[in-house]
C-alpha cells in the first residue's frame, strides 16, 4: 500500500475498540503507492475483525504491506485511475 493505506492501518490499530469512529484515506488520482487501491476505509472494529480472521495488522504495517491487508479485509477503495490529482483526502466521523 501507499501512504493512505499505511495511515489507515496505523489509525485502525490506534482506534481499536472505539465503535463510534469510522475513517477513510484516499488519493484523488485513484492510486496509492504501487497498489491498485486509492486508499482504505476503517472503523474501530477492524482490528478485532482482522484478529478473528487470523490476520495480525501490526505485521502488515511492519512489512509495509497494507494493501494486502485491506484487500483481504474487503476494505480497500478501488476506483481505477481517475484522471485527477487534486490531493489526498482524509475523512473521519466520530459519533
pLDDT 10s digits, 63-95: 999 999 999 999 999 999 999 989 999 999 999
Burial class (CB in 10 A: 0-12, 13-18, 19+), 42: buried
Overall average pLDDT of the 17-30 stretch? 97
Share of the chain above pLDDT 70, in %: 100
CATH superfamily of 3-94: MOFRL domain (3.40.1480.10)
pTM, entire model = 0.94
Mean pLDDT of the chain: 97
Confidence of residue 1 (pLDDT cuts 50, 70, 90): confident
As a whole number of angstroms, the distance between CA 80 and CA 63 comes to 24
Q: What are the boundaries of each domain within the chain?
A: 3-94
Confidence of residue 62 (pLDDT cuts 50, 70, 90): very high
Query: Within 1-95, where are the H helices?
Result: 3-14, 46-52, 57-62, 66-73
Amino acid at each position: 500500500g501507499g501512504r493512505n493505506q499505511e495511515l489507515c492501518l496505523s489509525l485502525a490499530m490506534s482506534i481499536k475498540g472505539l465503535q463510534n469512529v469510522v475513517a477513510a484515506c484516499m488519493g484523488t488520482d485513484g492510486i496509492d503507492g504501487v497498489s491498485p487501491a486509492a486508499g482504505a476505509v476503517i472503523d474501530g472494529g477492524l482490528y478485532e475483525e482482522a484478529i478473528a480472521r487470523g490476520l495480525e495488522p501490526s505485521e502488515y504495517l511492519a512489512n509495509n504491506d497494507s494493501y494486502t491487508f485491506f484487500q483481504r479485509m474487503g476494505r480497500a477503495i478501488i476506483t481505477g485511475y481517475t484522471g485527477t490529482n487534486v490531493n489526498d483526502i482524509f475523512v473521519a466521523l466520530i459519533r
